[in-house]
Amino acid sequence: MGAYADARTRSLTDPSGFWLDAASAVAWDTPPSIGLDDSAAPLYRWFSDGALNTSVNALDRHVEAGRGDRVAIYYDSPVTDSRRAITYTELRDDVARFAGVLAGLGVGVGDRVLLYLPMIPEAVVAMLATARLGAVHSVVFGGFAPAELAVRIDDALPTVVVSATCGIEGSRVIEYTPLLREALALAAHRPDAVVIKQRPQAAASLVAGDVDWDAAMSTAVPHGPVPVGATDPLYILYTSGTTGRPKGVVRDNGGHAVAMAWSFANVYGMGPDDVWWAASDVGWVVGHSYIVYAPLIAGASTVLYEGKPVGTPDAGAFWRVIARYGVNALFTAPTAIRAIKKEDPDAALLAEHDISSLRTLFLAGERLDPDTYAWASEHLGIPVVDNWWQTETGWPIASNLRGLEPMPIKAGSPTVPVPGYDVRIVDGFGEEVDAGQDGAIVIRLPLPPGTLPTLWGDDERYVDSYLRTFDGYYTTGDGGYVDEDGYVFVMGRTDDVINVAGHRLSTGAMEAVVASHPFVAECAVIGVHDELKGQIPRAFVVLKAGAVIDPDLLRQ
Nearest residue to 238 via CA among 153, 146, 175:
153
Q: Least CB distance from residue 291 to ligand AMP, whole Å?
A: 14
Residues 73, 69: Cα–Cα separation, whole Å? 11
- 440 scored as a contact of ligand AMP (CB under 6 A): no
- 475 scored as a contact of ligand AMP (CB under 6 A): no
Residues 442, 490: Cα–Cα separation, whole Å? 11
Question: In the set 114, 355, 364, 401, which binds ligand AMP (CB under 6 A)?
Answer: 364
- 252 scored as a contact of ligand AMP (CB under 6 A): no
Nearest residue to 398 via CA among 383, 408, 390, 388:
388
- 533 scored as a contact of ligand AMP (CB under 6 A): no
Of 531 and 552, CB closest to ligand AMP: 531
Of 159 and 476, CB closest to ligand AMP: 476
Q: Candidates 32-40, 220-228, 359-367, 508-516 — which segment interacts with ligand AMP by CB under 6 A?
A: 359-367
Q: How far is CA 59 from CA 263, 274, 298, in A?
A: 18, 16, 10
The length of the chain, given as a count of residues: 556
Q: Candidates 188-196, 202-210, 461-469, 474-482 — which segment interacts with ligand AMP by CB under 6 A?
A: 474-482
Q: Candidates 100-108, 144-152, 425-433, 471-479 — which segment interacts with ligand AMP by CB under 6 A?
A: 471-479
- 195 scored as a contact of ligand AMP (CB under 6 A): no
Of 11 and 415, CB closest to ligand AMP: 415
Of 225 and 283, CB closest to ligand AMP: 283
Residues 449, 465: Cα–Cα separation, whole Å? 20
- 496 scored as a contact of ligand AMP (CB under 6 A): no
Beta bridge mates, 535: 529
- 302 scored as a contact of ligand AMP (CB under 6 A): no
Residues 241, 4: Cα–Cα separation, whole Å? 33
CA contacts within 13 A on the Cβ side of 58: 35
Contact 473, 445 (CB under 8 A): yes
- 499 scored as a contact of ligand AMP (CB under 6 A): yes
- 251 scored as a contact of ligand AMP (CB under 6 A): no
CB-count exposure of residue 441 (10 Å: 0-12, 13-18, 19+):
buried
Contact 192, 105 (CB under 8 A): yes
- 282 scored as a contact of ligand AMP (CB under 6 A): no
Of 199 and 493, CB closest to ligand AMP: 493
Question: In the set 87, 391, 400, 475, which binds ligand AMP (CB under 6 A)?
Answer: 391
Q: Candidates 144-152, 214-222, 380-388, 454-462 — which segment interacts with ligand AMP by CB under 6 A?
A: 380-388
- 11 scored as a contact of ligand AMP (CB under 6 A): no
Q: Least CB distance from residue 493 to ligand AMP, whole Å?
A: 5
Of 100 and 248, CB closest to ligand AMP: 248
Residues 162, 135: Cα–Cα separation, whole Å? 14
Q: Total number of residues binding ligand AMP (CB under 6 A)?
A: 20
Contact 317, 346 (CB under 8 A): no
Q: If DSSP states are collapsed to H, E and C, what string results for 273-342?
A: CCEEEECCCCCCHHHHHHHHHHHHHHCCEEEEECCCCCCCCCCCHHHHHHHHHCCCEEEECHHHHHHHHH
Contact 38, 446 (CB under 8 A): yes
Of 53 and 391, CB closest to ligand AMP: 391
Beta bridge mates, 76: 83, 305
Q: Least CB distance from residue 32 to ligand AMP, whole Å?
A: 28
Question: In the set 79, 285, 329, 350, which binds ligand AMP (CB under 6 A)?
Answer: 285
Q: How far is CA 71 from CA 60, 298, 491, 530, in A?
A: 14, 12, 39, 39
Report the phi/psi class of residue 307: left, alpha or beta, with left for phi > 0 and alpha for psi in -120 to 50.
left
Nearest residue to 423 via CA among 456, 453, 462, 390:
390
β-pairing, 422-426 vs 416-417, is unpaired
- 477 scored as a contact of ligand AMP (CB under 6 A): yes
- 365 scored as a contact of ligand AMP (CB under 6 A): yes
- 386 scored as a contact of ligand AMP (CB under 6 A): yes
Residues 89, 92: Cα–Cα separation, whole Å? 5
Q: Candidates 41-49, 141-149, 343-351, 363-371 — which segment interacts with ligand AMP by CB under 6 A?
A: 363-371
Q: Candidates 3-11, 33-41, 43-51, 366-374 — which segment interacts with ligand AMP by CB under 6 A?
A: 366-374
Q: Least CB distance from residue 490 to ligand AMP, whole Å?
A: 4
- 122 scored as a contact of ligand AMP (CB under 6 A): no
Contact 117, 302 (CB under 8 A): no
Q: Least CB distance from residue 476 to ligand AMP, whole Å?
A: 6
β-pairing, 160-164 vs 398-399, is unpaired
Of 90 and 366, CB closest to ligand AMP: 366
Q: Candidates 337-345, 349-357, 388-396, 432-440 — which segment interacts with ligand AMP by CB under 6 A?
A: 388-396
Question: In the set 8, 61, 504, 533, which binds ligand AMP (CB under 6 A)?
Answer: 504
Q: Which of residues 414-433 bind ligand AMP (CB under 6 A)?
A: 414
Contact 32, 20 (CB under 8 A): yes
Q: Least CB distance from residue 260 to ligand AMP, whole Å?
A: 16
Residues found near ligand AMP in the complex (CB under 6 A) = 239, 285, 364-368, 386-388, 390-391, 414, 476-478, 490, 493, 499, 504
